Amino acid sequence: MRGITKREATIPSLKSAIGKLVSTNISPTMRGRLLRFDSEKSYFEVTKHESNDQYIHCVGQIFWINNYTAVTLTYLEEE
């Protein structure tokens, strides 16, 4: 049986990531910006992807994920 891969935090806290871009397949464009978070959920805005405009009509929509997943996402350096 295959073991469970432990998720490692990529950022020290969600507060330090507010406003940063994230690369995630949860977003229709594969990009999002962390807007805010509360005790359980983190809220992201769908942003335009640099090289693909297939789902451009989704830009501006809000999606959420659990905080324990949000700290393990790949946050991009540029803002």
Q: Does 6 reside within a domain?
A: no
Q: In terms of residue numbers, what domain contains 21?
A: 15-75
Q: Does 36 reside within a domain?
A: yes
Residue with token string 């991009």 = 76
Task: Give me the number of domains the chain comprises.
Answer: 1
pLDDT for 71 beyond 60: yes
pLDDT tens digits, 22-52: 998 889 999 999 999 999 999 999 999 888 8
Confidence of residue 78 (pLDDT cuts 50, 70, 90): low
Q: Does 10 reside within a domain?
A: no
- State the average pLDDT over residues 67-75: 92
pLDDT tens digits, 10-23: 888 899 999 999 99
Query: Which token pair is 65?
Result: 């994920």
Q: Does 54 reside within a domain?
A: yes
